[in-house]
């Protein structure tokens, strides 16, 4: 098996994804190219939808975190699969609605929603706001009142959990810019303020503890803290939370040494923990929302690059240059994220050439991966970087005025273009 079982090798020794030859994809659509296996993506959605439906109270639902991957053609898929969606900006709201996604299934995040953002989201009929701070409560209450509506909200709190991941992608600790901490007593004041708002309907609480989490334990810890907090709020205000949103964060396998995450098993364990916790407090079991981003799209995606050349620095190392890099995948430059790289056009050959993959930007940090082995690379070889479905397309830039790659969806052995490659005209489209 090649990291994930939607990958295979054709008789010509080419890498195939979802049954489609990647060499054919590069020939048809060019490289660099983002490829997303729609069958895998749909299967990942179903895993969450079914596991939540089976183990959790009615109304429980996964919300896809759009920051991981966001383009118009994704939203009809999410809608069909019964997902809700997290959005963090009016641009994400616009994209979801342009893709025909029902606004009532949108959950609007953000630690600095501007007055324009709030107005746009309210006028779009966004189902629920995840309120980050007391100032947002005031602004949202005012804006909802001006429209004569009562807006559903969840209150974002920080439970103070460190799930032992990278600090840059770890948001459950108290010292962070998202949400209101429970431990300092500020979250209790936040709830009191929210319950006093005439135009807001508080549904419950939200917490997001971090990313690349491989087991249920950190989520169970978050549930313990949230239930204690919910109990205290019931005692203080008679308020009962109907919904707990536990955020995103289940991990994915980037390299062979990463574990496979048992998502249904983790959700069952979490459900059992939740029900026991509620029973002990005689608290009505709230519905559960999860916000998976990475674990829905990462392993559905891969990126194809063409090799430009090889440069060996005598006594140091060899660089293999590809026709993309930090502009389409900034994650190695940002966090030294590990990825698996395969010689997509030469899968049958022995990989004994030690090298680092360099992008094409004028930036020494523009590396895709270091210390990998490939068959002695040649100009024109096709390489595949696996598991790039999350936080690649969505974090891409036009640095060095490089055009963003196209994105193709593969389903049932067929490929279709979902996002076309940018052109030079696109690069100057906003320039006056």
Least separation in angstroms between residue 212's CB and ligand PLP is 7
Candidate ranges 61-69, 312-320, 392-400, 404-412; the one touching ligand PLP (CB under 6 A): 61-69
Residues 18, 24: Cα–Cα separation, whole Å: 13
CB of 292 to ligand PLP, least distance (A): 5
Question: What CA–CA distance (Å, rounded) separates 127 from 152?
Answer: 7
Nearer to ligand PLP, 171 or 243 (CB): 171
Cβ proximity to ligand PLP: between 67 and 273 the closer is 67
Which part of the chain contacts ligand PLP (CB under 6 A), choosing from 65-73, 92-100, 189-197, 381-389? 65-73
Q: Distance between CA atoms of 202 and 153, rounded to whole angstroms?
A: 5
With tokens 């998502």, the residue in question is 263
Binding residue for ligand PLP (CB under 6 A) from 293, 301, 343, 377?
Answer: 293
Among 291, 306, 366, 381, binds ligand PLP (CB under 6 A): 291
Which residue in 66, 218, 247, 330 binds ligand PLP (CB under 6 A)?
Answer: 247
Binding mask 210-239 for ligand PLP (x = CB under 6 A): -x----------------------------
Could you tell me the CA-to-CA distances from 106 to 5, 110, 225, 231 in Å, in that order? Answer: 32, 13, 26, 27
| Of the residues 105, 113, 197, 208, which one makes contact with ligand PLP according to CB under 6 A | 208
Q: Is 41 in the site for ligand PLP (CB under 6 A)?
A: no
Select 321 or 387, whichever has its Cβ closest to ligand PLP.
387
Does residue 84 belong to the site contacting ligand PLP (CB under 6 A)? no
Instruction: Dump strand ranges (E) for 159-291.
Output: 180-181, 200-206, 243-245, 287-290
Distance CA 208, CA 222 (A): 9
| Nearest distance in Å: CB 198, ligand PLP | 27
Q: Which is nearer to ligand PLP, 165 or 231 (CB)?
A: 165
Residues 355-414 that bind ligand PLP (CB under 6 A): 390
Minimum CB distance to ligand PLP smaller for 190 or for 305 = 190
Q: Is 362 a catalytic residue?
A: yes
Task: Give, in order, the Cα–Cα distances in Å from 296 to each of 68, 75, 171, 221, 225.
Answer: 9, 13, 20, 23, 27
Among 45, 362, 403, 430, the one annotated catalytic: 362
295 touching ligand PLP, by CB under 6 A: yes
> Under rule CB under 6 A, which residues in 127-166 are in contact with ligand PLP?
none
Contact 300, 255 (CB under 8 A): no
The one among 110, 159, 160, 292 contacting ligand PLP by CB under 6 A: 292
Instruction: State which residue, 172 or 325, has the beta carbon closest to ligand PLP.
Output: 172
382-386 vs 301-312, strand pairing mode: antiparallel
User: In the structure encoding, which two tokens stand for residue 208, read together?
Assistant: 């997001």
Contacts of 5 (CB under 8 A, 6+ apart): none
Sole window of 75-83, 228-236, 288-296, 374-382 interacting with ligand PLP (rule: CB under 6 A): 288-296
Q: Nearest approach, Cβ of 248 to ligand PLP (angstroms)?
A: 3
Are 319 and 313 in contact, with CB atoms under 8 Å apart?
Answer: yes
Measured over the CA atoms of residue 144, residue 145, residue 148 and residue 151, the dihedral's sign is: positive
Stretch that binds ligand PLP, among 232-240, 245-253, 345-353, 368-376 (CB under 6 A): 245-253
What separation in angstroms does the CA of 160 have from each of 129, 172, 173, 252? Answer: 22, 5, 4, 23
Cα Rg for the chain, rounded, in angstroms? 23
CA angle (203, 209, 215) in 5-degree steps: 110
Q: Which of 105, 109, 152, 273 binds ligand PLP (CB under 6 A)?
A: 109
- What is the CA 235 to chain-centroid distance, rounded? 36
Note the residues at the interface with ligand PLP (CB under 6 A).
Answer: 65, 67-68, 86, 109, 171, 208, 211, 247-249, 291-295, 390
Catalytic residues: 362
């Amino acid at each position: 098996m090649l990291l994930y079982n939607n990958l295979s090798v054709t008789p010509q020794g080419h890498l195939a994804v979802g049954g489609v030859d990647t060499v054919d994809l590069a020939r048809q659509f060019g490289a660099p190219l983002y490829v997303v296996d729609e069958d895998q993506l749909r299967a990942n959605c179903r895993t969450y939808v079914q596991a939540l439906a089976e183990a959790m109270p009615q109304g429980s639902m996964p919300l896809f975190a759009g920051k991981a991957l966001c383009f118009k053609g994704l939203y009809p898929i999410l809608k069909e699969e019964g997902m809700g969606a997290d959005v963090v900006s009016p641009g994400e709201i616009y994209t979801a609605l342009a893709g025909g996604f029902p606004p009532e299934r949108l959950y609007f995040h953000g630690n600095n929603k501007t007055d324009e953002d709030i107005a746009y989201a309210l006028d779009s009929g966004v189902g629920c706001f995840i309120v980050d701070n007391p100032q947002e409560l005031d602004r949202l209450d005012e804006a909802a009142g001006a429209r004569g509506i009562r807006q559903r909200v969840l209150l974002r709190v920080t439970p103070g959990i460190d799930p032992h991941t990278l600090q840059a992608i770890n948001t459950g600790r108290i010292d962070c810019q998202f949400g209101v901490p429970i431990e300092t007593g500020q979250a209790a004041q936040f709830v009191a303020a929210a319950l006093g708002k005439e135009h807001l309907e508080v549904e419950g609480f939200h917490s997001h503890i971090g990313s690349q989490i491989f087991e249920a334990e950190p989520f169970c810890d978050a549930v313990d803290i949230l239930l204690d907090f919910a109990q205290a709020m019931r005692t203080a205000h008679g308020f009962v939370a109907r919904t707990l949103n536990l955020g995103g964060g289940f991990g994915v396998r980037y390299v062979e040494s990463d574990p496979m995450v048992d998502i249904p098993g983790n959700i069952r364990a979490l459900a059992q923990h939740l029900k026991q916790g509620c029973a002990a407090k005689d608290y009505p079991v709230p519905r559960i929302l999860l916000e998976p981003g990475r674990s829905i799209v990462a392993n559905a995606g891969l990126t194809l690059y063409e090799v430009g050349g090889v440069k060996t620095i005598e006594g140091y190392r060899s660089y293999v240059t590809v026709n993309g890099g930090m502009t389409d995948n900034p994650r190695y430059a940002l966090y030294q994220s590990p990825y698996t790289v395969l010689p997509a056009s030469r899968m049958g050959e022995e990989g004994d050439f030690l090298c680092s993959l360099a992008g094409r930007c004028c930036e020494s940090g523009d590396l895709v991966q270091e210390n990998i082995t490939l068959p002695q690379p040649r100009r024109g070889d096709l390489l595949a970087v696996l598991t790039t479905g999350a936080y690649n397309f969505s974090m891409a830039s036009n640095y060095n005025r490089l055009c963003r790659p196209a994105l193709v969806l593969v389903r049932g052995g067929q490929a279709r273009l979902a996002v076309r490659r940018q052109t030079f005209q696109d690069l100057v489209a906003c320039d006056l």
